[in-house]
Structure 1
Amino acid sequence: MSLGLTLTRMPTMSGFMTCGPLWAQRCGSQVFYPGVCAGVSPLFKPQPAFSPAVQTCGGPMDIVIVLDGSNSIYPWTPINDFLKKLLPTLDIGPQSTSVIQYAVSAQFEFKLNTFKTKAEVLSAALGITQIQWGFHQDNGGRPGAAKVMVVVTDGESHDEAFRDTVIGECEKEKIRRFGIAVLGYYIRNNIDTKNLIAEIKSIASLPTENYFFNVSEEAALSSIAEALGDRIFNIEGTGKEGENFQMQMSQVGFSAHYSSKTDVMMLGAVGAYAWSGTVVHQRGQRANIFPLSAFERTLQDRNHSSLLGYSVTTLSDGQAEYFVAGAPRSNHSGQVIVYTVTPSKQVTVMDSERGKQIGSYFGSVLCPLDVDNDGTSDILLVGAPMFMNDLKREQGRRILGSKFDFMMQYFGRSLDGYGDMNDDTIPDISDSADFVNSISLRVDIGLQNPDANPVLDVFSQTAWDFSLPFAIDCGSDGVCVSDLVLSVKTGTEVPSAGSVLVSCNNREISFEVLVKNNKENAYSAQILVTYSKNLFYASVTSPSDGKEVKCTSTTQSGELACQVGYPALEKDQEVRLMALACQVGYPALEKDQEAKSDGKEESPADNRVDITIPVRYDAEIIMTRESNINFYVVDETKKVQTSVKTLDDIGPEFNFSLRGGSVSCDSALVDPLKIGAKPHKAFFSMESLRGIHRLDCWNVKCQAVKCIIKDMRVKDVYFVNVTTRIWNGTFASATFQTIELTANTEIVTSQPDLLIIAHKKMPFGFFQRKYKQLQEVAGYREENGRTD
């Protein structure tokens, strides 16, 4: 349970309090970490323990997975892969699992009570081939169990009239529903996905963003399995129908501070609200746990990983007392929040300060100082132990701190300003740091009041020195001359010739980096990487041989510093690592890499590698179409209209709408005859269209309308609505039976060398037939006894 990880003074009982933030609580097969604290008397007698975040365990859970087994799901293998990745994340045993597959009708692949172990369920699921209510007790449903349904489909239903009734029954039975829309069939056939997405969203429980997923193709299903499993795990862990983890993993007591002025024990809870963190105020036997909303607006952390409560303390202006909490991972750079609490237990944030460097862990330690002992806090020291100095070393930093010996690292890992060590009436600060070449520590013991009990033996030792040195092996001259050789290879996703095509499914580029030292030890060896703005550092895979590699990225400047072979890369030693990066949006990727150390370098020329990779970007624009008619019959028995006074005199209206992506179009072709403003005389000639099946821009003269779509935003929908008229007289005067009229659309970009549009052409068309000829053909077939 890590009891003793946190210690804080308790003046009211002349003792101290200790906490074990990893104290565990088991609920069924789930293990939570609410944390526990207890006071300790001056005689080291433990007081009754308390745990403000201890949980009420939830019950069992029944999970039904509903699979669309229709022919449009193709191939079926990704469905098995999805189940293979999802099922291991479920705690089968307390959770019963069933799979139902439907096409024309529904069938059970296995019921809730068919299997008892995860291995049995997984084996059965992987054997499912494509081809009632799953929670009923006849199918293994358990009274009182939480109910979860996962629906996977790629098409709209044919019984929409029953949907509201069925959803109402699900709500009545408290069935939480995850809806997964597979868009592959629609995209492959250029079908608008709007209605499918809307229907699956209506099936999913609320809030929709927690229960709805969509993937572009069947193969992408496995990419969401882990996130889906986590959300189902949350439902079981909370027992509150889909509510995310609140205090189950809170680790209350990770930090602690007692406010004597308000008689409040502040307890940090870094794991609360999915690691966003919070602070618990304990007064006597009553605990006030602040909700996520209390600090959410100030933290502004979408990733919910701020670790608020990593450190806690108080400040005083002589009258009022202010509570302070550190969140070292807030927006990756750290944050300190100053707040007060109203009598109604509401939090009011008074001030906040963010760290200046990503990864510095700003706010991990807090130390207030009252320099002149007037009851007012004069200085707040804030530790940032991972702060990188100009040499890219993790030197550490404090507010009001300055540069120290370059051999020191992680300065500000811990701070304390409680006592006056040298009796000069000014509080002294004790700080911790690590040293590169040696670690030395001196401990002095003395009595704050020598005239009071207890007493020290006059002959007892009062000081101890500790050190852990290691030698710098640089030969007899004491000067390290290394020979670092750096080589870099791109991953298989980079072709040997041509450019890399970047899309939503292909956004990573990997680099295999190898640094080798051919001569004397290279101390503090580093790989420094500078990359262009269209890259951002994602991760580094450490070497398989266990060599330590630590990397720190500075997003603002596009730099990455990796410490390799710490403290020294020895002779003939090499380190191989994989660095991953993601593209954003410029014509070429540029990545400069350099190896260096604290010593002299014999051959600097082979320490640097510059890489430039040309890239092209898939615009991922999906164009769909709609039109008002698909078939039109020309009635040649009606008189051809040659005097055109209105648009209706021309012929039928053909409307089509392009959905692809503010829009401005050429107006020169819009009503060039000014119909309605003046009459127009039309002339039509007899012509034969027999043997011609289609009229398009390949065999007739076409006019083009150009529309410019500006500033297209991600996931926005744009429309181009076009209204045309068909010259009825042209076709009434022509000889044909059936003919197809086609208009073509094409979407292009002003940067074709950079942006690729995969599906940029789309035809619009409809069929025309002659009414009189249809009658003649029908009569001919009837006379000759033909029905085809």
Structure 2
Amino acid sequence: MEYYCLLLLWICCQLGFNNCFNIDTKTHKIIKGPKQAQFGYTVQQHVAAGGEKWLLVGAPYEMNGPHQTGDVYKCSINRRNNGCSKLNLGRISLTNVSERKDKMRLGMTLTSNPVDNSFVACGPLWSYECGSSYYSTGICSRVNASFKFSRTIAPAFQRCETYMDIVIVLDGSNSIYPWYEVQAFLINILQKFYIGPGQIQVGVLQYGEKVVHEFKLSDYKSVEEVVKRARSINQRGGEETNTALGINVARSQAFKHGGRRGAKKVMIVITDGESHDSADLQQVIKDCEKDGITRYAIAVLGYYNRRGINPEAFLNEIKYIASDPDDKHFFNVTDEAALKDIVDALGERIFSLEGTSKNGTAFGLQMSQAGFSAHNVEDGILVGAVGAYDWNGGVLKETRQGKVVPPKSSYSLEFPEELKNHGAYLGYTVTSVVSARNGRLIVAGAPRFNHTGKVIIFTLKNSGELTILHSLKGQQIGSYYGSEIAPVDIDGDGITDNLLVAAPMFFSGGLEKGKVYIYRLTELNRFILEGALEIHNGGQNARFGSALAPVPDVNGDGFNDLVVGAPLEDDHKGAIYVFFSQQSRILRKYKQRIAAADLAPGLQYFGRSIHGTMDMNNDGSVDLAVGSLGAVVLLWSRSVIRIYTTVRFEPSKINIFVKDCQRGGKDVTCMSAIVCLNVTARTAIPPAQEIGIKYNVSIAERRFNPRAVLDNPAKLQPQNLTLLPGVETCKHIYFHVMETTDYARPIVFVVQVGLQGSDHGPVLDDSWPTVMRTELPFWNGCDEDERCMPDLALQSTTDLMTRNEGRSEGLWRIIEGNRRRMVVDVRLENKGENAYSARLNITYTPNLRFSSLIVKDTSDIKIDCYAEIKPRNEKICNVSAPFMRAKSQVSFRLEFEFSPTVVLDHVRVVLEANSDGEETNAADNSEEIYYSLNYEADLLFTRESHPSRYDIKSELALEEPGVIGPPFNLTFQIQNLGYFPVRDLQLNIEIPEMSKNGNRLLQISDFYIDKVSPESLNRTRSGPEEKVKGFVKI
């Protein structure tokens, strides 16, 4: 008993009662960063130029100078250099943009591209100024394999409506007076302009007889700089007003010196008189129209009013200079001092006419926050834009050829206009699946759609044509269904098998735990819900499903696996769950749970981000990087091995007839077992790595007196052994077999294997057995083909048959009243080879009761009988277990008692002998005894009368029927003195009724029967029935 307790304890220690497998939680590595920057919000394993491996860690709250922009850290995993360095991606922006940044959150989205070892980091809150508005369109930066900035990705960015090149053409001739009024107007209108990169830039030229460039378009980048320069502009003077020349120089020179491609061209002409070169105006204006220059013309009438001159011709000339219509582009003021009165009106007309799209669609991406999610595809990158189209969201694409922006109408079928105020947040996450039928399909989540969430599957052409193929809907309000999505290619054939959709705020069992839905992608591109992943031991706010990370095959079974994050589990400490796959499905029960509390104190939000695609420590196994608040944890995968165990015996069978040694003074059969052990790796392992294993051998004999015993009891203790992968090592174990009668069951030899250390090195494949049970059979004593061919034969006689009678069907036998038993004498003989599991079946009719089986001769063959529950009239007897020897026989007597209650007209006894072997002659394996029966009756009949005598005179008669003479009682009694019941007994009674003279003698007054059950009678009193010679028969 002590041995079995020790063995059980050892097995329990080897197998363990926990949910750990091959993700190492003992020798992990923690890389720390600034908590206030949310270091660890995202994490990516990355290979840089030269093959060096890094971790990319997003820190979306990182400061960059005075701005909170967020950033990305690159962290070395080399033991010699554990530091992280900031890439300073927050400094990167678009050119010619009035950048505001507005807490850019760079690193909130991070995705690496293994094709060219580049990566993309996005700041979805990146903002810029457009006039008085701030647009948060988002921005992403692509970084090459050398950690150098490659290009900016901003598919939602649109030029401001204030993206203008404005040239102001000032009349500085002598007639302008006073000049300071013109200069004040210039300063006022400049202060109305939104001057800066990506917005307005201004150039000023002054003309009279000649034209002078006061400053060019590209000279100044801010309102302050321009206003300061304007204050120093002096009146040039001149006797002539060559307005056509000034306009033409502005058109041909000013817009080219610092002018920007794509900027709207605006010219403001201010003059106080008719031009001296009016003949050139027609061509000059024609050229301006050709160059797309919008012209505002201001007529200053001070000169005309002071001299009382009719300004009609002057006004017509100025209207001709202004763009059509005149009411939008033409101004006139009474004098120079009145210029200040049109500043506001001029500014409003410039911005309203030049900055608004006719259909208003240009503003659908103003607050798109593109880069909230990102996903690499073959020809570019997809970015989620949750704020696009009034926060319904969208998915944009950037390629080498340009940006791809699907129109708002593309989403209208799944995101109807009546639900636009819900803020669906489409693009909260974006990924793709690969179908066998249609190739790559894009998948995007909208976790706030109709409050329950939605996922759409669609195609997107580079022309902007978006076609929605399918949609999946959430089930619970507020569950944030679709906030995380992941495709899983389980078998690694390049075709997506499952699509996972997370609802991390799913409410279940009174707690907000989270749930991950599993959809199977069919060959017909249908997504079939096949179940969900849930945890039942997590607490409130676990947020299971906040991170989904498909990972390559972790355990070496050939199928890719999955890791799910629950960052708020364990009071916000966090945990991750490892799920294995089989065939084409993800197993619903997680294989390993790794809690932050088991790794290091102080970890928070562990599991907020997960990435595992490569071997980071060069041991051949895929490793995991898990983000938390202010830290990233590197979890190494341990190699998975199998220990192959084979056992062979010398000799290969136990021959109990050969006692070749002695143990404890007894002759026994000595044997040896050769135990061979070999280690093979399911996942990568260095071929020279030594693996320490332990093994234990035992003989599974659960009895007080075991049939086999190890020669050396010390072998019962675990033995240590060091193996190299692929190299077999064998050990000899010696044992002996005791004298036994149990030859049928083989001896079971048990080898239990395990690893010497559980904290380091490889782990055992838990799908592979660690207990090897090998059976050692007994030699059956038959021919070399190991097939026993017995020949059982039965012979029987019975005491119902006389010595001279033969046995024939249908014989009648009378069973004497004193007979109680029936005896059958049987001889069972095995004429062939050993008969294993020899059995005798005895079947008999219900009028017999089995009494005994007694072996008659001195044979050592034992016969043990037992009754089957059903039917009752059957006995099964084991003959000489475990086998009946060849050429042996046994004689025995069967005794049956006749039933006193069950009486049949026959008796039958069937004997049948069989075994596990193949009978050479089955004809003599059965005997049948059958007789038809009659039973001898033993009846006693008595009569008693009272009075005993009554004299009747011959002349007397019963003349009056109503007059009755003295009573005369007759009592009859019948008794069955025999053993068996008597059936169908008939009693006839005749009494005299009339005398010879015809006088009536007797009249039956009463008749009754007692002490006999009514059902045993065929009839009762029937009255006079028949007259026979003066008698009445009843």
TM-score, structure 2 length as denominator? Answer: 0.27
